[in-house]
């Protein structure tokens, strides 16, 4: 169980994931969570850091799509308006296999050379694993302070401990 939910890679921030790392590991496509992975909930538009990282991916032929659980369609639309990537809101991760496969087909990508990146084990990481793809975990930028989130993070703890007992931060 601990192994099943462990991510394949862990990075301290999204922009520590380099094109070089992706190429070395045969990852040609990234499926990206938005909230708390790329930007805090309150940040409606991508900032310079996000845009420059995404441009670097694009310039190097790495495809990407946004797969968000945010139930406000506007959130995803606005975040993506100057980027124009395949983008899906309200995608019900971890039960997002249909959406994920649709995004992959839009990008002419396959599960073997794709990875799912996000900040939540039982949402993002599980969604990627259910589709048989590799997964990359990043810590949340800033968690919402509510009991539901605290509970989710508490559930994640044994898995993180397990991961770090075998790996160091990439
Ligand atoms: Mg998130």
Would you state the pLDDT for residue 170? Answer: 65
d(CA 149, ligand 1 centre) in Å: 11
Report CA torsion sign: 77, 37, 113, 24: positive
d(CA 120, ligand 1 centre) in Å: 6
Quick one: tokens of 146?
A: 């509510």
pLDDT band at 67 (very low <50, low <70, confident <90, very high): very high
What does the mean pLDDT of the chain come to? 95
Kindly report, residue by residue over 140-170, the tens digit of the pLDDT: 998 778 888 889 899 999 999 999 999 877 6
d(CA 58, ligand 1 centre) in Å: 22
Q: Are 104 and 88 in contact (CB under 8 A)?
A: no
Q: Are 67 and 99 in contact (CB under 8 A)?
A: yes
100-115 mean pLDDT: 98
d(CA 142, ligand 1 centre) in Å: 10
Q: List C-alpha distances in Å: 52 to 14, 44, 143, 153, 170.
A: 12, 17, 24, 30, 21
| Integer Cα distance of 39 and 158 in angstroms | 26
Quick one: tokens of 2?
A: 């601990």
d(CA 118, ligand 1 centre) in Å: 6
Quick one: tokens of 163?
A: 């991961």
Q: Are 170 and 150 in contact (CB under 8 A)?
A: no
| Integer Cα distance of 22 and 79 in angstroms | 24
Q: What values do phi and psi take at 93, rounded to 5?
A: -55, 140
d(CA 36, ligand 1 centre) in Å: 5
d(CA 64, ligand 1 centre) in Å: 16
Note residues around ion ligand 1 (Cβ under 5 angstroms). Answer: 33, 35-37, 119
Kindly report, residue by residue over 27-64, the tens digit of the pLDDT: 999 999 999 999 999 999 999 999 999 999 999 999 99
d(CA 70, ligand 1 centre) in Å: 9
| Integer Cα distance of 11 and 111 in angstroms | 21
pTM of the model: 0.94
Instruction: Please give the class, per CATH, of domain 2-166.
Output: alpha beta
What secondary structure letter does DSSP report for 123? I
Quick one: tokens of 9?
A: 């890679």
d(CA 34, ligand 1 centre) in Å: 6
């Amino acid at each position: 169980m601990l192994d099943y939910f462990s991510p394949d890679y862990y990075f301290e921030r999204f922009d520590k994931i380099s094109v070089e790392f992706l190429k070395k590991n045969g990852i040609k496509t990234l499926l990206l969570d938005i909230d708390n992975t790329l930007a805090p909930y309150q940040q409606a538009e991508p900032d310079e850091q996000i845009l420059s990282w995404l441009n670097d991916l694009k310039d190097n032929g790495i495809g990407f799509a946004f797969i968000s659980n945010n139930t406000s369609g506007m959130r995803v639309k606005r975040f993506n308006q100057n980027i124009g990537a395949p983008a899906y809101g309200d995608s019900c991760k971890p039960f997002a296999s249909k959406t994920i496969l649709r995004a992959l087909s839009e990008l002419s990508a396959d599960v073997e050379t794709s990875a799912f990146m996000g900040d939540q084990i039982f949402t993002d990481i599980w969604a990627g694993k259910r589709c048989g793809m590799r997964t990359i975990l990043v810590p949340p930028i800033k968690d919402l302070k509510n009991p539901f989130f605290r509970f989710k993070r508490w559930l994640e703890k044994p898995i993180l401990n397990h991961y770090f007992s075998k790996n160091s931060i990439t």
